[in-house]
Amino acid sequence: MEDLRVYFFTSRGISRAVDGVSFHVGEGETLGVVGESGCGKSVTALGILRLVPAPGRVVGGRVFLEGEDITKVSEAHIRHIRGAKISMILQDPMTSLNPVFSIGSQVGESITIHQGLKGRTLLKRVIEMLKLVRIPAAESRITDYPHQMSGGMRQRVAGAIGISCEPRVLICDEPTTALDVTIQAQYLELLKEVQERTGVALIFITHDMGIIARMCDRVVVMYAGRVVETGSVRDVFLDANQPYTISLLKCLPRLEGVAHLESIEGQPPDPHTFPPACRFAPRCPKVQPVCNEVYPEMVKVKEGHMAACYFPGDWHRDK
């Protein structure tokens, strides 16, 4: 994905919710996308699928799937990609399933749309999918309705819907925030397993650095609609170079130092009135005059590790 831009044309002006985001994810890889609430993670995900709600619009950028730029293809074509090649699990299992259809029909729907299965073969596939996400007694649960299931079960069903057509890319938009910790751990485990079996590329959206550390190979840190740092999880965690990433890591509770738990000063900027240059500058503890002039380009810290900061690392090291 290159330079994706999604703007909302609201009555208050243009809201540049996603403003030039680039990243890539390979087969069998897990990419974490992390950032504060409102930084544009979900909008990025919907932008990939071209499903940004009005008044929003993808205004620029290219998204390549297996070499094809899907921002240019026809509406009918992208519909064949949605659910089949790129799929998504939404945040809230309580509201993301349709209350008036049985879970069997909801899991089966995309299989019918994209693979044309019907009747008994479809039923078999649906049961197989529900078993894959470890729904107990899957055979008897396909006629159940969402309200008859717990949140954890529903999120598994949502997971089954996501993987039902064996997509190449599965976007998980904070799929576990609504679940309690034990269920959350089980669910993450499950996603990993599915990935091993199908080789799906996972894009894992979260604001939980802990989950990133546990789940992901690489990470993209977003701030105010832009990527501020990206690299392997190991590099970013051990040698964060952008002040926002560093602050974010400090917010992580640690076993040895819970007392030092910090939060980042100030509020993220309103996407209608982003600062012209570095968007983190108003909150940055090490801000320099240049930071308020031009937006810093991404600089290479080492192979595969980039940060958008004029003083990458300096800040970190003199601390």
Partner 1 sequence: MGRYIMGRAVQGLTSMFLVTIFVFGIVRLSGDPLQMLLPEEAPPEQYAEMKKLLYLDKPIVVQYWKWISRVVRGDLGTSTKLRIPVMELIGERLPNTLQLAAVAFAFTLTLGLAVGVYAAAWRGSVVDYVARGFAVMGQAAPSFWSGIIFILIFAVYLRWLPAGGKGGLSSIILPAFTLGWLPVAGVMRMTRSSMLEVLNSEYIKLARIKGVRETLVLWKHGFKNAALPVLTYTALIFIAMINGSVIIETVFAWPGIGRLVLEAVLNRDFPIVQAVVLMFSTWYILGNLFIDIGYAYLNPRIRY
Ligand X SMILES: Nc1ncnc2c1ncn2[C@@H]1O[C@H](COP(=O)(O)OP(=O)(O)OP(=O)(O)O)[C@@H](O)[C@H]1O
Tell me which residues touch Mg ion (CB under 5 A): 42
Q: Does 110 bind partner 1 (CB under 8 A)?
A: yes
Type of residue at 225: G
State which amino acid sits at residue 31: L
* Residues in Cβ contact with 111 at an 8 Å cutoff, skipping those fewer than 6 apart: 117, 122, 125, 126, 129, 164, 165
| From 3-11, 107-115, 133-141, 183-191, span contacting partner 1 (CB under 8 A) | 107-115
29 or 109: whose CB is closer to partner 1?
109
Residue 151 in the binding site for partner 1 (CB under 8 A): no
Nearer to partner 1 among residue 103 and residue 127 (C-beta): 103
- Write down the residue that tokens 């990133």 correspond to: 212
In the region spanning residues 54 to 73, those forming contacts with partner 1, defined by CB under 8 A, are none
Q: Which of Mg ion, ligand X, partner 1, none binds 100 (CB below 5-8 Å, type-dependent)?
A: partner 1
* Nearer of residues 82 and 316 to partner 1, judged by Cβ: 82
Distance CA(303)–CA(133), nearest Å, equals 37
Q: How far is the CB of 4 from ligand X (least distance, A)?
A: 12
199: Cα within 13 Å, side-chain hemisphere: 2
Where residue 139 falls (left for φ over 0; alpha for ψ -120 to 50; beta otherwise) is: alpha
Span of 7-15, 143-151, 230-238, 297-305 interacting with ligand X by CB under 6 A: 7-15
Task: Pull the structure tokens for residue 106.
Answer: 């909801």
Residue 144, both tokens = 């159940």
Rule CB under 6 A: is residue 207 a binding residue for ligand X?
yes
Binding ligand X (rule: CB under 6 A), the pick from 271, 291, 296, 308 is: 271
Convert residues 20-59 into a mask of x (bound to ligand X by CB under 6 A) and - (unbound). ---------------x-xxxxxxx---------x--x---
- What minimum distance in Å lies between the beta carbon of 43 and Mg ion? 8
Q: Give the integer Cα–Cα distance in Å for 241 and 139.
A: 51
CA distances from 307 to 4, 225, 244, 280, 302 (A): 18, 15, 10, 13, 10
Rounded to whole angstroms, how far apart are CA atoms 121 and 157? 19
Are 23 and 169 in contact by the 8 Å Cβ rule? The answer is: no
Give the residue, chosen from 37, 67, 99, 319, that forms a contact with partner 1 under the rule CB under 8 A: 99
Which residue in 83, 104, 175, 312 binds partner 1 (CB under 8 A)?
83
Alpha-carbon gap, residue 207 to 250, rounded angstroms: 13
Which residue, 225 or 296, is less far from ligand X as judged by CB?
Answer: 225
Q: What is the dihedral of CA 237, 238, 240, 241, to 10 degrees?
A: -160
**Contacting residue, 10, 121, 148, 267, with partner 1 by CB under 8 A:** 148
Binding site for partner 1 (CB under 8 A): 46, 49, 51, 79-84, 87-88, 90-92, 95-102, 109-110, 113-114, 145, 147-148, 158, 161
